[in-house]
Structure 1
Amino acid sequence: MGQIRTRKETGTLYFDFVYKGTRCREQTNLLPSTNNLKKLQKTLERIELDIAMGRFEYDKFFPNSRLVAKFAPERTNTPKQPPAIEVKESGADGVKGPFFNSFILEWLQESQISWRRSHLLNIHGMIDKYYIPAFGHIRVGAITRADLLKFRSSLAKVSGRNGNVTLSANRINKIMDPLRRVFEEAADRYDFTTPFVRIKPLKVPRSDVQPFTLTEVRLIIDSVRPDFKNYYTVRFFSGMRTGEIDGLKWKYVDFERRMIMVRETIVAGEEDYTKTDSSQRDIAMCGPVFDALENQYRATGAMSEYVFCNLQGLPVDHNNITKRVWYPLLAHLGLEKRRPYQSRHTAATLWLAAGEAPEWIARQMGHANTEMLFKVYSRYVPNLTRRDGSAFERLLLANSNRDSMGDSV
Structure 2
Amino acid sequence: MWITFYHQSKRYKRSLDLIDTRTNRKLAQQKLIPEIQYKLNSGEFFKNEIKIPIVDEFVQKSFKIHKSRRKPSTHLDYYNGYFNHIQEKFGKKYLNEIKPSDIELWQNSLLEKGLSPRRIKTLRTIFTTMYSDAIKDGVVNVSPLTMVRVPKAQKVEIKPFSLDEIKLLISNAEGQIKNFLALAFFSGMRSGEMIGLRWSDINFEKNEISITRAIKMGEISTPKTENSMRVIDIISYLHPYLKNQFQVTGNKKSYVFLNDKDEHFYDIKRIRETHWRKLLKNCGFEYRPIYHTRHTFATIMIEHNEDILWVSNMLGHTDSTMTLSKYARYIKRENVKRAQFLL
Common topology (TM > 0.5): yes
- Aligned counterpart in structure 2 of residue 123 of structure 1, from 78, 99, 110: 78
- CA distance in 2 between counterparts of 1:274 and 1:312 reads 25
Structure 2 Cα separation of the partners of residues 381 and 334 of structure 1: 28
Per-residue Cα deviation, 1:288-312 (whole angstroms, up to 9, x for no partner):
2221111111110112510011122
Alignment gaps of 5+ in structure 2: 1-11, 16-50
**Corresponding position: 1:319 with 2:319:** no
Whichever residue aligns with residue 151 of structure 2, its letter is L
Match of 1:132 in 2: 87
The reply to whether residue 148 of structure 1 matches residue 98 of structure 2 is no
Q: Give the aligned residue type for 2:179.
A: N
The answer to whether residue 311 in structure 2 is matched with residue 356 in structure 1 is: no
Cα distance in 1 between the residues matched to 2:140 and 2:102: 19
Cα distance in 1 for residues equivalent to 2:184 and 2:106: 40
Counterpart in the other structure of 2:163: 214
Q: Give yes or no for contact 2:95–2:140 (8 Å, CA) kept in 1.
A: no
Query: How far off its partner does 1:93 sit?
Result: 4.2
Instruction: Kindly tell me the number of residue pairs found equivalent between the two proteins.
Output: 295
Deviation of residue 367 (structure 1)?
Answer: 0.6
Q: Which residue type is aligned with residue 145 of structure 1?
A: P
Q: Pick from 181, 198, 203: which aligns with 2:152?
A: 203
SS state of the match for residue 209, structure 2?
A: strand
Shift of 1:348: 0.7
AA at the equivalent of 1:175: L
What is the aligned partner in structure 2 of residue 171 from structure 1? 119
Q: CA RMSD in A?
A: 2.0
One-letter identity of the residue aligned with 1:99? I
**Identity %, equivalent residues:** 27
Higher relative contact order (Cα pairs below 8 Å, separated by 6+ residues): 2
Moved more, 199-208 or 252-261: 199-208
Cross-structure match for 2:131: 183
Q: Secondary structure at the match of 1:288?
A: coil
Matching residue of 1:31: none
Aligned partner of 2:325 in structure 1 is 375
1:353 positional shift? 1.7
Distance 1:197 1:347 in 2: 39
How far does the alpha carbon of each residue in 1:96-153 deviate from its partner, in whole angstroms, 9 at most, with x for none? Answer: 5211110111111111111111101111111111221111111111211121112112
Answer yes or no: is the 8 Å Cα contact 2:62–2:129 preserved in 1.
no
**Consecutive unaligned residues in structure 1, runs of 5 or more:** 1-91, 159-165, 404-409
Cα–Cα, structure 1 residues 171 and 178, in superposed 2: closer, same or farther, change >3 Å? same
Tell me the CA shift for residue 225 of structure 1.
1.1
- Contact 2:305 2:331 (8 Å CA) reproduced: no
Partner of 1:231: 180
Structure 1 residues 185-234: Cα deviation after superposition (integer angstroms, max 9, x where no partner): 21332142222222121111212211111111111111111332111111
SS in 1 for 2:215: strand
Q: Give the equivalent residue in structure 2 for 1:16.
A: none
Which of 359, 363, 366 aligns to 2:316? It is 366
